[in-house]
Structure 1
Amino acid sequence: MLTKSEESRGVAAERVALALQEEILAGRLAPGSRLGEVALAERFEVSRGPVRSALNQLADAGIVTIVPNSGARVREMGREDARALYEVRAALEAEAARLAAGQADARSGETLTQLLGQHAQEVSSHPQGAYLQGPGDRDFHIVIARLSGNPLILRYLTRELYPQLSLLRVKHRNVTGRGQAALLEHRRIAEAIACGDGEVAALLMRRHIRASWEALEAQLAAPSEESEA
Protein backbone atom coordinates (compact mmCIF):
# COMPACT_ATOMS: atom_id res chain seq x y z
CA MET A 1 0.00 0.00 0.00
CA LEU A 2 1.37 3.42 -1.00
CA THR A 3 2.00 6.03 1.66
CA LYS A 4 0.60 9.53 1.14
CA SER A 5 4.13 10.74 0.42
CA GLU A 6 4.71 8.06 -2.21
CA GLU A 7 1.31 8.71 -3.78
CA SER A 8 2.05 12.44 -3.91
CA ARG A 9 5.38 11.81 -5.64
CA GLY A 10 3.63 9.57 -8.16
CA VAL A 11 1.05 12.25 -8.95
CA ALA A 12 3.80 14.85 -9.34
CA ALA A 13 5.79 12.57 -11.65
CA GLU A 14 2.72 11.96 -13.81
CA ARG A 15 2.04 15.70 -14.03
CA VAL A 16 5.61 16.44 -15.10
CA ALA A 17 5.64 13.56 -17.61
CA LEU A 18 2.39 14.69 -19.26
CA ALA A 19 3.55 18.30 -19.51
CA LEU A 20 6.91 17.35 -21.03
CA GLN A 21 5.35 14.85 -23.44
CA GLU A 22 2.96 17.52 -24.70
CA GLU A 23 5.82 19.95 -25.28
CA ILE A 24 7.96 17.34 -27.02
CA LEU A 25 5.22 16.09 -29.34
CA ALA A 26 4.14 19.64 -30.15
CA GLY A 27 7.71 20.46 -31.19
CA ARG A 28 8.31 23.03 -28.44
CA LEU A 29 11.18 20.88 -27.18
CA ALA A 30 13.26 19.95 -30.21
CA PRO A 31 15.04 16.60 -30.68
CA GLY A 32 18.35 16.71 -28.83
CA SER A 33 17.15 19.26 -26.26
CA ARG A 34 18.68 18.66 -22.84
CA LEU A 35 16.26 17.89 -20.01
CA GLY A 36 18.12 18.82 -16.85
CA GLU A 37 16.67 17.47 -13.61
CA VAL A 38 17.55 20.55 -11.54
CA ALA A 39 16.04 23.01 -14.02
CA LEU A 40 12.89 20.91 -14.43
CA ALA A 41 12.49 20.48 -10.67
CA GLU A 42 12.64 24.27 -10.24
CA ARG A 43 10.26 24.87 -13.11
CA PHE A 44 7.59 22.42 -11.90
CA GLU A 45 8.23 23.17 -8.23
CA VAL A 46 8.88 19.57 -7.27
CA SER A 47 11.86 17.62 -5.98
CA ARG A 48 14.23 15.84 -8.36
CA GLY A 49 12.66 12.45 -7.53
CA PRO A 50 9.40 13.03 -9.46
CA VAL A 51 11.37 14.61 -12.31
CA ARG A 52 13.62 11.57 -12.55
CA SER A 53 10.56 9.29 -12.50
CA ALA A 54 8.89 11.38 -15.22
CA LEU A 55 11.95 11.22 -17.44
CA ASN A 56 12.11 7.44 -16.99
CA GLN A 57 8.45 7.21 -18.07
CA LEU A 58 9.19 9.22 -21.20
CA ALA A 59 12.24 7.08 -21.90
CA ASP A 60 10.05 3.98 -21.66
CA ALA A 61 7.69 5.62 -24.18
CA GLY A 62 10.63 6.09 -26.56
CA ILE A 63 10.62 9.88 -26.77
CA VAL A 64 13.44 10.65 -24.32
CA THR A 65 16.95 9.21 -24.25
CA ILE A 66 18.80 8.85 -20.93
CA VAL A 67 22.57 8.44 -21.09
CA PRO A 68 24.45 7.53 -17.87
CA ASN A 69 26.62 10.40 -16.59
CA SER A 70 25.21 12.65 -19.31
CA GLY A 71 21.53 13.07 -18.49
CA ALA A 72 18.31 13.08 -20.46
CA ARG A 73 17.58 14.58 -23.87
CA VAL A 74 14.66 14.61 -26.26
CA ARG A 75 15.19 11.62 -28.52
CA GLU A 76 16.71 12.16 -31.94
CA MET A 77 15.34 9.43 -34.21
CA GLY A 78 17.48 8.33 -37.15
CA ARG A 79 16.37 6.61 -40.33
CA GLU A 80 17.05 3.08 -39.11
CA ASP A 81 15.15 3.69 -35.87
CA ALA A 82 12.23 5.06 -37.89
CA ARG A 83 12.32 2.11 -40.28
CA ALA A 84 12.24 -0.40 -37.40
CA LEU A 85 9.34 1.50 -35.84
CA TYR A 86 7.34 1.33 -39.06
CA GLU A 87 8.05 -2.38 -39.49
CA VAL A 88 6.59 -3.12 -36.06
CA ARG A 89 3.74 -0.69 -36.71
CA ALA A 90 2.82 -2.46 -39.95
CA ALA A 91 2.67 -5.85 -38.23
CA LEU A 92 0.56 -4.67 -35.28
CA GLU A 93 -1.81 -2.47 -37.25
CA ALA A 94 -2.40 -5.10 -39.93
CA GLU A 95 -3.38 -7.57 -37.22
CA ALA A 96 -5.58 -4.93 -35.57
CA ALA A 97 -7.40 -4.37 -38.88
CA ARG A 98 -7.87 -8.13 -39.36
CA LEU A 99 -9.29 -8.56 -35.87
CA ALA A 100 -11.52 -5.48 -36.21
CA ALA A 101 -13.01 -6.94 -39.40
CA GLY A 102 -13.71 -10.19 -37.59
CA GLN A 103 -15.77 -8.32 -34.99
CA ALA A 104 -17.34 -5.76 -37.34
CA ASP A 105 -20.99 -4.86 -36.97
CA ALA A 106 -23.20 -2.02 -38.18
CA ARG A 107 -22.12 0.23 -35.34
CA SER A 108 -18.40 -0.10 -36.01
CA GLY A 109 -18.99 0.57 -39.71
CA GLU A 110 -20.95 3.72 -38.84
CA THR A 111 -18.19 4.84 -36.47
CA LEU A 112 -15.55 4.62 -39.19
CA THR A 113 -17.79 6.24 -41.80
CA GLN A 114 -18.55 9.21 -39.56
CA LEU A 115 -14.92 9.61 -38.56
CA LEU A 116 -13.68 9.59 -42.16
CA GLY A 117 -16.40 12.05 -43.09
CA GLN A 118 -14.96 14.48 -40.56
CA HIS A 119 -11.46 13.84 -41.85
CA ALA A 120 -12.58 14.46 -45.44
CA GLN A 121 -13.77 17.94 -44.49
CA GLU A 122 -10.46 18.69 -42.79
CA VAL A 123 -8.38 17.39 -45.70
CA SER A 124 -10.44 19.40 -48.20
CA SER A 125 -9.53 22.59 -46.34
CA HIS A 126 -5.85 22.02 -47.24
CA PRO A 127 -5.95 19.54 -50.19
CA GLN A 128 -2.22 19.70 -50.89
CA GLY A 129 -1.21 19.28 -47.28
CA ALA A 130 -0.87 16.52 -44.74
CA TYR A 131 -3.53 14.39 -43.07
CA LEU A 132 -3.37 15.62 -39.47
CA GLN A 133 -5.68 13.68 -37.18
CA GLY A 134 -6.80 14.62 -33.70
CA PRO A 135 -5.98 12.51 -30.65
CA GLY A 136 -7.91 9.58 -29.20
CA ASP A 137 -11.22 8.80 -30.86
CA ARG A 138 -10.43 11.21 -33.71
CA ASP A 139 -7.45 9.11 -34.83
CA PHE A 140 -8.39 6.45 -37.41
CA HIS A 141 -5.63 4.08 -36.32
CA ILE A 142 -6.48 4.27 -32.62
CA VAL A 143 -10.15 3.62 -33.40
CA ILE A 144 -9.23 0.47 -35.34
CA ALA A 145 -6.93 -0.67 -32.55
CA ARG A 146 -9.86 -0.36 -30.15
CA LEU A 147 -12.22 -2.14 -32.54
CA SER A 148 -9.74 -5.03 -32.69
CA GLY A 149 -10.74 -6.01 -29.16
CA ASN A 150 -7.12 -6.89 -28.33
CA PRO A 151 -5.94 -4.90 -25.28
CA LEU A 152 -2.26 -5.74 -25.83
CA ILE A 153 -2.26 -4.39 -29.39
CA LEU A 154 -4.02 -1.25 -28.18
CA ARG A 155 -1.53 -0.85 -25.34
CA TYR A 156 1.60 -1.31 -27.47
CA LEU A 157 0.34 1.05 -30.15
CA THR A 158 -0.96 3.84 -27.94
CA ARG A 159 1.66 3.75 -25.17
CA GLU A 160 4.81 2.90 -27.11
CA LEU A 161 4.58 3.23 -30.89
CA TYR A 162 2.28 6.21 -31.39
CA PRO A 163 4.23 8.58 -29.11
CA GLN A 164 7.32 7.79 -31.17
CA LEU A 165 5.39 8.29 -34.40
CA SER A 166 4.26 11.66 -33.08
CA LEU A 167 7.91 12.51 -32.47
CA LEU A 168 8.54 11.88 -36.16
CA ARG A 169 5.54 13.97 -37.19
CA VAL A 170 6.94 16.95 -35.33
CA LYS A 171 9.78 17.06 -37.81
CA HIS A 172 8.11 15.63 -40.92
CA ARG A 173 4.57 16.88 -41.25
CA ASN A 174 3.87 18.10 -44.78
CA VAL A 175 4.25 15.91 -47.87
CA THR A 176 2.41 17.53 -50.77
CA GLY A 177 -0.79 15.66 -51.58
CA ARG A 178 -0.22 12.92 -49.00
CA GLY A 179 -3.37 13.87 -47.09
CA GLN A 180 -5.74 13.01 -49.93
CA ALA A 181 -3.92 9.76 -50.68
CA ALA A 182 -3.95 8.70 -47.02
CA LEU A 183 -7.66 9.47 -46.72
CA LEU A 184 -8.44 7.26 -49.72
CA GLU A 185 -6.36 4.46 -48.20
CA HIS A 186 -8.24 4.82 -44.92
CA ARG A 187 -11.58 4.58 -46.73
CA ARG A 188 -10.59 1.34 -48.42
CA ILE A 189 -9.45 -0.15 -45.12
CA ALA A 190 -12.71 0.91 -43.46
CA GLU A 191 -14.75 -0.68 -46.25
CA ALA A 192 -12.93 -3.99 -45.85
CA ILE A 193 -13.45 -3.91 -42.08
CA ALA A 194 -17.15 -3.08 -42.47
CA CYS A 195 -17.53 -6.02 -44.90
CA GLY A 196 -15.87 -8.35 -42.41
CA ASP A 197 -13.00 -9.17 -44.79
CA GLY A 198 -10.09 -9.46 -42.40
CA GLU A 199 -7.47 -10.61 -44.91
CA VAL A 200 -8.14 -7.70 -47.26
CA ALA A 201 -8.27 -5.24 -44.36
CA ALA A 202 -4.87 -6.45 -43.14
CA LEU A 203 -3.36 -6.28 -46.64
CA LEU A 204 -4.67 -2.76 -47.21
CA MET A 205 -3.38 -1.63 -43.83
CA ARG A 206 0.09 -2.96 -44.61
CA ARG A 207 0.05 -1.12 -47.94
CA HIS A 208 -1.08 2.06 -46.19
CA ILE A 209 1.73 1.89 -43.62
CA ARG A 210 4.24 1.18 -46.39
CA ALA A 211 3.05 4.22 -48.36
CA SER A 212 3.30 6.34 -45.23
CA TRP A 213 6.85 5.10 -44.63
CA GLU A 214 7.91 5.77 -48.22
CA ALA A 215 6.59 9.34 -47.98
CA LEU A 216 8.41 9.85 -44.70
CA GLU A 217 11.65 8.20 -45.83
CA ALA A 218 11.85 10.56 -48.78
CA GLN A 219 11.72 13.47 -46.33
CA LEU A 220 14.29 12.10 -43.90
CA ALA A 221 16.99 13.10 -46.36
CA ALA A 222 15.68 16.68 -46.33
CA PRO A 223 15.76 17.95 -42.71
CA SER A 224 14.09 21.24 -43.57
CA GLU A 225 10.99 19.54 -44.91
CA GLU A 226 8.11 18.00 -42.89
CA SER A 227 5.92 15.02 -43.64
CA GLU A 228 2.68 13.29 -42.63
CA ALA A 229 3.44 10.02 -40.89
Structure 2
Amino acid sequence: MADPGSAENSSGDAIAQALRAEILAGELSAGERLVEESLAKRYGVSRIPVREALARLQSEGFVTIVRHRGATVSASLIHDGHELLQVRRGLEVFAAQLAAENRGGAVARELAEIADGRSGEGSSFHELIAIASGNEQLRELLTNVNQRVGWSLGRNPETSAADHRAVAMAVRNGAAVQAAYLMDEHLRRDEQFFNDQFGT
Protein backbone atom coordinates (compact mmCIF):
# COMPACT_ATOMS: atom_id res chain seq x y z
CA MET A 1 0.00 0.00 0.00
CA ALA A 2 1.11 3.55 -0.70
CA ASP A 3 2.36 5.48 2.28
CA PRO A 4 3.41 9.14 2.51
CA GLY A 5 6.10 7.99 4.95
CA SER A 6 7.62 11.23 6.21
CA ALA A 7 6.64 14.38 8.06
CA GLU A 8 7.11 16.39 4.89
CA ASN A 9 4.75 14.13 2.96
CA SER A 10 2.20 13.79 5.76
CA SER A 11 -0.02 16.47 4.29
CA GLY A 12 -3.51 16.40 2.90
CA ASP A 13 -2.12 16.36 -0.65
CA ALA A 14 0.16 13.37 -0.02
CA ILE A 15 -2.55 11.41 1.78
CA ALA A 16 -4.98 12.14 -1.06
CA GLN A 17 -2.38 10.94 -3.55
CA ALA A 18 -1.82 7.71 -1.61
CA LEU A 19 -5.53 6.97 -1.25
CA ARG A 20 -6.17 7.84 -4.91
CA ALA A 21 -3.51 5.35 -5.97
CA GLU A 22 -5.04 2.61 -3.80
CA ILE A 23 -8.54 3.24 -5.20
CA LEU A 24 -7.28 3.10 -8.79
CA ALA A 25 -5.31 -0.07 -8.03
CA GLY A 26 -8.42 -1.72 -6.58
CA GLU A 27 -6.90 -1.96 -3.10
CA LEU A 28 -9.84 0.04 -1.75
CA SER A 29 -13.21 -1.18 -3.00
CA ALA A 30 -16.28 0.78 -4.05
CA GLY A 31 -18.40 1.49 -0.98
CA GLU A 32 -15.56 0.83 1.47
CA ARG A 33 -15.60 3.16 4.47
CA LEU A 34 -12.71 5.58 4.99
CA VAL A 35 -12.63 6.36 8.72
CA GLU A 36 -10.82 9.59 9.61
CA GLU A 37 -9.47 8.33 12.93
CA SER A 38 -8.07 5.12 11.41
CA LEU A 39 -6.46 7.00 8.53
CA ALA A 40 -4.93 9.54 10.92
CA LYS A 41 -3.33 6.72 12.92
CA ARG A 42 -2.15 4.97 9.77
CA TYR A 43 -0.37 8.06 8.47
CA GLY A 44 0.70 9.39 11.85
CA VAL A 45 -1.07 12.72 11.50
CA SER A 46 -3.96 14.59 13.05
CA ARG A 47 -7.42 14.31 11.55
CA ILE A 48 -7.10 17.72 9.84
CA PRO A 49 -4.92 16.63 6.87
CA VAL A 50 -7.03 13.47 6.57
CA ARG A 51 -10.16 15.61 6.35
CA GLU A 52 -8.43 17.79 3.73
CA ALA A 53 -7.47 14.67 1.73
CA LEU A 54 -11.00 13.28 1.81
CA ALA A 55 -12.47 16.62 0.76
CA ARG A 56 -10.07 16.75 -2.19
CA LEU A 57 -10.93 13.19 -3.20
CA GLN A 58 -14.61 14.02 -2.97
CA SER A 59 -14.11 16.99 -5.35
CA GLU A 60 -12.38 14.61 -7.79
CA GLY A 61 -15.17 12.02 -7.54
CA PHE A 62 -13.14 9.33 -5.75
CA VAL A 63 -14.95 9.60 -2.43
CA THR A 64 -18.51 10.19 -1.30
CA ILE A 65 -18.98 12.01 2.01
CA VAL A 66 -22.37 11.83 3.72
CA ARG A 67 -23.11 13.93 6.80
CA HIS A 68 -23.08 11.86 10.02
CA ARG A 69 -22.03 8.76 8.05
CA GLY A 70 -18.54 9.71 6.93
CA ALA A 71 -16.62 8.93 3.76
CA THR A 72 -16.76 5.93 1.46
CA VAL A 73 -15.02 5.05 -1.80
CA SER A 74 -17.21 6.20 -4.69
CA ALA A 75 -19.25 3.47 -6.33
CA SER A 76 -19.60 5.41 -9.60
CA LEU A 77 -16.05 6.69 -10.16
CA ILE A 78 -15.44 5.10 -13.57
CA HIS A 79 -18.92 5.91 -14.87
CA ASP A 80 -18.62 9.52 -13.70
CA GLY A 81 -15.13 9.80 -15.19
CA HIS A 82 -16.40 8.63 -18.58
CA GLU A 83 -19.25 11.17 -18.53
CA LEU A 84 -16.94 13.99 -17.43
CA LEU A 85 -14.53 13.25 -20.28
CA GLN A 86 -17.45 13.64 -22.70
CA VAL A 87 -18.37 16.95 -21.08
CA ARG A 88 -14.73 18.04 -21.22
CA ARG A 89 -14.54 17.26 -24.94
CA GLY A 90 -17.60 19.39 -25.68
CA LEU A 91 -16.19 22.34 -23.73
CA GLU A 92 -12.68 22.01 -25.19
CA VAL A 93 -14.02 21.82 -28.77
CA PHE A 94 -16.05 24.99 -28.18
CA ALA A 95 -12.99 26.68 -26.63
CA ALA A 96 -10.88 25.77 -29.69
CA GLN A 97 -13.54 27.20 -32.00
CA LEU A 98 -13.68 30.48 -30.08
CA ALA A 99 -9.89 30.61 -29.84
CA ALA A 100 -9.65 30.35 -33.64
CA GLU A 101 -12.27 33.04 -34.10
CA ASN A 102 -10.04 35.23 -31.88
CA ARG A 103 -6.89 34.01 -33.71
CA GLY A 104 -5.39 33.13 -30.34
CA GLY A 105 -6.49 36.26 -28.51
CA ALA A 106 -4.28 37.23 -25.56
CA VAL A 107 -2.02 34.19 -26.02
CA ALA A 108 -1.60 34.30 -29.80
CA ARG A 109 2.20 34.49 -29.50
CA GLU A 110 2.42 31.44 -27.23
CA LEU A 111 0.13 29.43 -29.52
CA ALA A 112 2.17 30.48 -32.57
CA GLU A 113 5.29 29.10 -30.86
CA ILE A 114 3.50 25.78 -30.26
CA ALA A 115 2.29 25.69 -33.87
CA ASP A 116 5.87 26.22 -35.06
CA GLY A 117 7.24 23.54 -32.71
CA ARG A 118 9.26 26.13 -30.78
CA SER A 119 7.63 25.55 -27.41
CA GLY A 120 7.67 22.62 -24.96
CA GLU A 121 4.27 23.64 -23.69
CA GLY A 122 3.32 20.40 -21.96
CA SER A 123 0.04 20.33 -20.05
CA SER A 124 -0.46 24.12 -20.30
CA PHE A 125 -1.73 23.81 -23.89
CA HIS A 126 -5.37 23.31 -22.91
CA GLU A 127 -5.18 26.22 -20.49
CA LEU A 128 -3.83 28.42 -23.33
CA ILE A 129 -6.76 27.40 -25.56
CA ALA A 130 -9.18 28.27 -22.76
CA ILE A 131 -7.56 31.70 -22.35
CA ALA A 132 -7.54 32.23 -26.12
CA SER A 133 -11.30 31.58 -26.23
CA GLY A 134 -11.80 34.91 -24.44
CA ASN A 135 -14.68 33.39 -22.46
CA GLU A 136 -13.97 33.46 -18.72
CA GLN A 137 -17.01 31.37 -17.82
CA LEU A 138 -15.91 28.66 -20.24
CA ARG A 139 -12.39 28.80 -18.85
CA GLU A 140 -13.72 28.37 -15.30
CA LEU A 141 -15.91 25.42 -16.29
CA LEU A 142 -12.95 23.75 -18.01
CA THR A 143 -10.75 24.26 -14.97
CA ASN A 144 -13.33 22.57 -12.75
CA VAL A 145 -13.89 19.65 -15.12
CA ASN A 146 -10.15 19.12 -15.69
CA GLN A 147 -9.53 19.06 -11.94
CA ARG A 148 -12.08 16.27 -11.61
CA VAL A 149 -10.79 14.14 -14.48
CA GLY A 150 -7.07 14.84 -14.32
CA TRP A 151 -6.41 11.44 -12.72
CA SER A 152 -7.88 9.63 -15.70
CA LEU A 153 -5.84 11.26 -18.45
CA GLY A 154 -2.93 9.53 -20.08
CA ARG A 155 -1.59 9.70 -23.60
CA ASN A 156 1.40 9.30 -25.86
CA PRO A 157 3.41 12.54 -25.36
CA GLU A 158 4.59 12.56 -28.98
CA THR A 159 1.07 12.13 -30.33
CA SER A 160 -0.20 14.84 -28.00
CA ALA A 161 2.52 17.28 -29.08
CA ALA A 162 1.63 16.71 -32.75
CA ASP A 163 -2.08 17.18 -31.98
CA HIS A 164 -1.34 20.37 -30.04
CA ARG A 165 0.72 21.80 -32.91
CA ALA A 166 -2.09 21.07 -35.38
CA VAL A 167 -4.77 22.69 -33.21
CA ALA A 168 -2.54 25.70 -32.48
CA MET A 169 -1.90 26.18 -36.20
CA ALA A 170 -5.63 26.10 -36.96
CA VAL A 171 -6.23 28.62 -34.17
CA ARG A 172 -3.47 30.90 -35.44
CA ASN A 173 -4.94 30.73 -38.96
CA GLY A 174 -8.44 31.55 -37.72
CA ALA A 175 -9.79 28.20 -38.99
CA ALA A 176 -12.54 27.70 -36.42
CA VAL A 177 -14.13 24.58 -37.94
CA GLN A 178 -10.75 22.89 -38.39
CA ALA A 179 -9.61 23.79 -34.85
CA ALA A 180 -12.80 22.35 -33.39
CA TYR A 181 -12.49 19.16 -35.45
CA LEU A 182 -8.83 18.63 -34.53
CA MET A 183 -9.53 19.21 -30.83
CA ASP A 184 -12.41 16.74 -30.98
CA GLU A 185 -10.17 14.07 -32.54
CA HIS A 186 -7.42 14.75 -29.97
CA LEU A 187 -9.76 14.34 -27.01
CA ARG A 188 -11.46 11.25 -28.45
CA ARG A 189 -8.05 9.60 -28.16
CA ASP A 190 -8.00 10.51 -24.44
CA GLU A 191 -11.41 8.92 -24.03
CA GLN A 192 -10.28 5.80 -25.86
CA PHE A 193 -7.27 5.55 -23.53
CA PHE A 194 -9.64 5.81 -20.55
CA ASN A 195 -11.96 3.15 -21.98
CA ASP A 196 -9.04 0.79 -22.67
CA GLN A 197 -7.60 1.31 -19.21
CA PHE A 198 -10.81 0.88 -17.23
CA GLY A 199 -12.76 -1.41 -19.53
CA THR A 200 -15.71 0.89 -20.07
| TM-score, length-scaled by structure 1 | 0.61
User: What's the % identity of the aligned pairs?
Assistant: 30
Match of 2:181 among 203, 220, 227: 203
Instruction: Give the 3 Å change call, closer, same or farther, for CA 77–190 of structure 1 in structure 2.
Output: farther
1:164 counterpart residue number: 148
Instruction: Give the 3 Å change call, closer, same or farther, for CA 95–46 of structure 1 in structure 2.
Output: same
| Residue 219 (structure 1) shift | 2.3
Separation in 2, partners of 1:140, 1:92: 15
| Residue 192 (structure 1) shift | 0.9
2:3 counterpart residue number: none
Structure 1 window deviating more from structure 2 (89-98 vs 30-39): it is: 30-39
Query: How many pairs align?
Result: 181
Confirm whether residue 193 of structure 1 aligns to residue 192 of structure 2: no
Instruction: Give the 3 Å change call, closer, same or farther, for CA 141–75 of structure 1 in structure 2.
Output: farther
Separation in 1, partners of 2:45, 2:125: 34
- Which has the higher relative contact order, 1 or 2, with Cα contacts under 8 A spaced 6 or more apart? 1
| Residue 113 (structure 1) shift | 4.2
Instruction: Give the 3 Å change call, closer, same or farther, for CA 158–74 of structure 1 in structure 2.
Output: farther
Q: Which structure 2 residues correspond to residues 45-124 of structure 1 after superposition, within 5 A? A: 45=46, 52=51, 55-56=54-55, 58-67=57-66, 70-73=69-72, 75=74, 78-105=77-104, 108-115=107-114, 117-119=118-120
| Residue 57 (structure 1) shift | 5.5
Q: Which structure 2 residues correspond to residues 168-183 of structure 1 after superposition, within 5 A? A: 168-169=152-153, 173=154, 178-183=156-161
| Residue 88 (structure 1) shift | 0.4
| Residue 110 (structure 1) shift | 2.7
1:63/1:167 contact within 8 Å kept: no
1:108/1:194 contact within 8 Å kept: no
Aligned residue for 1:139, secondary structure, equals: helix
1:97/1:205 contact within 8 Å kept: yes
1:101/1:198 contact within 8 Å kept: yes
| Residue 109 (structure 1) shift | 3.4
Separation in 1, partners of 2:152, 2:75: 9
